[in-house]
C-alpha cells in the first residue's frame, strides 16, 4: 500500500554513476546483446573522433581470453593534468563524471559523434572493472576502476588505483580495457560478426584509417587478426555494397566539399536493380531514418540530372521533368557528413534534424555532379543513368495504375480479402496482431485457435513474388502482395504512412522447412524494399512454431530446436518416448497451434531488425537477387553441413 506522506526525505538523489547503474537502458538502450556491444561502440567512437580530426590513424579492438575488451588508439591520449574545478585528473573525470568531455565547445574536436560526454563514464559504470592506460608527453600513465560494495550498497566505477605514472612512452594514445558486469547484462559474450561488421563500416567511412580486430578467446574458430583499411573510402564502400549486382558503370562517382562548416562526401553508383539504396551517416553515426542531409542530396541529384537531360535534348520543352525516384531507381549512394552541433530527432540518433544540412548537401551535390559530368560531357555514364531513369518513368506510370487499385479500399477488399482475412474485433491497433500464415490448412487452424479479440489471420494461398527481382508495378500485380498491403492499410514506398497501420505486430508464420524459410525470406525482402519503416519501428516479427512434440506417460513437451531436444527428452524421463516431427503448421490442430505459437504467454517471437542497413542490403542482394554464383559462394562459405539445423 502506498504511503500517505510524500516529502523531501522521499526524494532519492543518485550520485555519480549510480543513475546509470539503476537505469542502464536510458544510456545504452537495452541490457541485451545490443546494449552489451554498445559499450564497445562508445569507446571506439572516442577513438574514431580522434581519427576524424586527423589525430589518429590506427585503432585496435581485442576480445580478450577472460571476456574483457581492449580498445587501443594512437591518438593524442586523454589529458592527465588536474581538472581546475574538480581537483582530480582529467582522465578520472572523463570516466567517473557524467556529461564530462572535450567535445562540447568544438575547440578540441571539430566533429564528434559523442556529444553528451557520457560514453566513457557509462562504460565504466556498467563494468566490473575498467583500466585506462594513457601515453602522452613521453610518459605512460594508468588508472584503474572497479565496481564494489560499500556499506552493503553496490558502488560502480570507483577508483581502485589512482592515476599513476608507470613508465616512458615513445608514442601517444589511449588503451581502454573493460569487463562488462554480468549482473547488468543478459549475456556478456561478445559476437565477433557484429563487431567485425561495424568496424568495417567505420573503416569505409574514415578513409585511410586502419581498424583492427583481434579475437584471443579460446575455442573461437575465428580467433585471429583482421585489419580493415580502405584508401578509397566511400567509393570502396559503394563497391562493397554492390558486389553481386550488375552495375551500369564500373567506377562509382565520388564528390565532396565543405559548405557552411559542414564537411560532405558522397559516392554513388547505379545498378540494373529496381530498388534505391541510400545510406547516410553523420559524424560516423548511421542515420537509418535519413533526415535533412538525405533530402538535400536527393533534391540536388534530381535537379542536376534533369538539367543535363534538357541540355542534351533528351527532354524537350514540352516534356515534364523526370521524377527523383526515376533517377534513383537502382541507385546505391553513401552520404557521409561531418558537422558541429548535431540535432537528432528522437533518442535513437537515427534521423538528422539540422535544417542547415539540406542546402549544404544540395549545393555540394549540384556542384559535384555538374563538375563530374561537365568534364565528361554527356558520355556513357550519364547515358546509362538517363536510359535507366526513362525506363523507370515508364514503369512508374504503369505502377501508378496498380497503386490506384491498392488505394481503392472497397474494390480491393471485395476482390482480394473476402474469404482470406479473418480480422479481429478489437479496434485499438496497439493491442492487435496480424498473422501472415503459410497455406490454407495452417490458416484454418490459426483462425480456429486464435483469440479473435486481438488476433487477425491472413492465409497465403500461393507464394508471394520475390520483390528483389521485379519492378513495383510487377510486384503490385501479385495477389498475395496486394492482400498484405490492403490488410495493413499503410500504403507502400513513398506513400507509406504508419499512422494508418491496423496492427501493432505483423507476424510471419511459416512452416519449419525449406519452403517455409523461402516464404519468410520473400516476405522480409518485400517489407525491406517497400515498407522498411515497418521494420525500423519494430512492428515485424517471425513466429517460431515447434519442431517436435515428445510425449511419455501422459507428459508432453514441445521442442523448438534440435539443440533443445536432448534436454527435453531427459525432462520427460528419457527412453522410451514418442516423438512427432512437425513438418508443417497444418499438422497441428487449433489448440496446439495456439498453445505453442500464438499464445502471448507461451510463444516466442523474433523481432526483425536492421542493425546494419548496408549489410542488410548486401545480404538481400546475395540471397534474393539474380546472381546465382554469389549465392552459391555465400552458402559454401557460411553453411555448416555437419549440423542438422532443419
CA distance 228 to 248: 27
Within 10 Å of residue 219's Cβ, how many Cβ atoms? 6
Coil vs helix vs strand at 479: helix
Asked whether the beta carbons of 403 and 335 are under 8 A apart, the reply is no
Residue among 566, 584, 323, 563 nearest 440 (CA): 584
Which residues are marked as active site?
438, 511, 513, 515
Residue among 328, 310, 331, 307 nearest 319 (CA): 310
Distances (CA, A) of 464 to 254, 476, 579: 38, 10, 33
What radius of gyration, in Å, describes the C-alpha atoms of the chain? 28
CA distance 394 to 382: 19
CA distance 505 to 455: 10
Within 10 Å of residue 390's Cβ, how many Cβ atoms? 15
H helix or E strand, kind and range, residue 224: strand 224-228
CA distance 235 to 77: 31
Beta strands in 283-362 (DSSP E): 285-286, 331-338
**What's the full length of the chain, in residues?**
646
Residue among 630, 626, 590 nearest 466 (CA): 626
Coil vs helix vs strand at 155: strand
Amino acid at each position: 500500500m502506498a504511503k500517505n506522506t510524500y516529502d523531501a526525505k522521499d526524494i532519492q538523489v543518485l550520485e555519480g554513476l549510480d543513475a546509470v547503474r539503476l537505469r542502464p537502458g536510458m544510456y545504452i538502450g537495452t541490457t541485451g546483446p545490443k546494449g552489451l556491444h554498445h559499450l564497445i561502440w562508445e569507446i571506439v567512437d572516442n577513438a574514431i573522433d580522434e581519427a576524424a580530426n586527423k589525430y589518429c590513424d590506427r585503432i585496435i579492438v581485442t576480445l580478450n581470453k577472460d571476456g574483457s575488451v581492449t580498445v587501443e588508439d594512437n591518438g593524442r591520449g586523454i589529458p592527465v593534468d588536474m581538472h581546475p574545478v574538480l581537483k582530480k585528473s582529467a582522465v578520472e573525470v572523463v570516466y567517473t563524471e557524467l556529461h564530462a568531455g572535450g567535445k562540447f565547445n568544438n575547440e578540441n574536436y571539430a566533429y564528434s559523434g559523442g556529444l553528451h560526454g557520457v560514453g566513457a563514464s557509462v562504460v565504466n559504470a556498467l563494468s566490473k572493472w575498467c583500466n585506462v592506460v594513457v601515453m602522452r608527453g613521453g610518459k605512460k600513465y594508468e588508472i584503474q576502476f572497479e565496481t564494489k560494495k560499500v556499506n552493503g550498497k553496490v558502488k560502480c566505477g570507483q577508483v581502485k588505483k589512482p592515476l599513476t605514472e608507470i613508465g616512458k612512452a615513445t608514442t601517444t594514445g589511449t588503451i581502454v580495457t573493460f569487463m562488462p558486469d554480468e549482473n547488468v547484462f543478459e549475456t556478456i559474450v561478445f559476437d565477433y560478426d557484429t563487431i567485425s561488421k561495424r568496424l568495417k563500416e567505420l573503416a569505409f567511412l574514415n578513409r585511410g584509417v586502419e581498424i583492427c580486430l583481434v579475437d584471443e578467446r579460446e575455442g573461437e574458430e575465428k580467433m585471429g587478426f583482421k585489419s580493415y583499411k580502405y584508401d578509397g573510402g566511400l567509393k570502396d564502400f559503394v563497391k562493397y555494397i554492390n558486389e553481386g549486382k550488375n552495375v551500369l558503370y564500373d567506377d562509382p562517382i565520388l564528390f565532396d566539399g565543405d559548405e557552411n562548416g559542414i564537411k560532405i562526401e558522397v559516392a554513388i553508383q547505379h545498378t540494373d536493380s529496381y530498388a534505391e539504396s541510400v545510406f547516410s551517416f553523420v559524424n560516423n553515426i548511421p542515420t537509418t531514418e535519413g533526415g535533412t542531409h538525405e533530402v538535400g542530396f536527393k533534391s540536388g541529384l534530381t535537379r542536376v540530372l534533369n538539367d543535363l537531360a534538357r541540355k542534351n535534348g533528351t527532354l524537350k520543352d514540352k516534356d515534364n521533368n523526370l521524377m527523383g525516384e526515376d533517377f534513383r531507381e537502382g541507385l546505391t549512394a553513401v552520404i557521409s557528413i561531418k558537422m558541429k552541433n548535431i540535432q537528432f530527432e528522437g533518442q535513437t540518433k537515427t534521423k538528422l534534424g539540422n535544417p542547415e544540412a539540406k542546402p549544404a548537401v544540395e549545393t555540394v551535390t549540384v556542384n559535384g555532379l555538374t563538375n563530374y559530368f561537365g568534364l565528361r560531357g554527356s558520355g556513357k555514364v550519364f547515358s546509362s543513368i538517363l536510359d535507366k531513369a526513362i525506363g523507370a518513368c515508364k514503369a512508374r506510370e504503369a505502377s501508378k495504375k496498380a497503386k490506384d487499385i491498392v488505394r481503392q479500399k472497397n474494390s480491393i477488399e471485395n476482390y482480394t480479402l473476402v474469404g482470406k482475412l479473418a480480422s479481429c474485433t478489437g479496434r485499438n491497433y496497439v493491442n492487435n496482431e496480424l498473422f501472415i500464415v503459410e497455406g490454407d490448412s495452417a490458416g484454418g487452424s490459426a483462425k480456429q485457435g486464435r483469440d479473435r479479440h486481438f488476433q487477425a489471420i491472413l492465409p497465403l494461398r500461393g507464394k508471394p513474388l520475390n520483390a528483389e527481382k521485379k519492378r513495383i508495378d510487377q510486384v503490385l500485380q501479385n495477389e498475395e502482395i496486394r492482400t498484405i498491403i490492403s490488410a495493413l492499410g499503410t500504403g507502400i514506398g513513398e506513400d507509406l504512412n504508419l499512422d494508418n497501420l491496423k496492427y501493432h505486430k505483423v507476424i510471419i508464420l511459416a512452416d519449419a522447412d525449406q519452403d517455409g524459410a523461402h516464404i519468410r525470406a520473400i516476405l522480409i525482402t518485400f517489407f525491406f524494399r517497400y515498407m522498411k519503416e515497418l521494420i525500423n519501428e519494430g512492428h515485424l516479427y517471425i513466429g517460431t512454431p515447434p519442431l517436435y512434440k515428445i510425449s511419455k506417460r501422459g507428459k508432453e513437451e514441445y521442442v523448438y530446436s534440435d539443440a533443445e531436444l536432448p534436454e527435453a527428452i531427459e525432462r520427460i524421463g528419457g527412453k522410451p518416448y514418442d516423438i512427432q516431427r512437425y513438418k508443417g503448421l497444418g499438422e497441428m490442430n487449433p489448440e496446439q497451434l495456439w498453445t505453442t505459437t500464438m499464445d502471448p504467454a507461451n510463444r516466442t517471437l523474433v523481432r526483425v531488425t536492421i542493425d546494419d542497413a548496408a549489410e542488410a542490403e548486401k545480404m538481400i542482394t546475395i540471397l534474393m537477387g539474380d546472381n546465382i554464383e554469389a549465392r552459391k559462394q555465400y552458402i559454401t562459405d557460411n553453411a555448416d553441413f555437419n549440423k542438422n539445423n532443419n
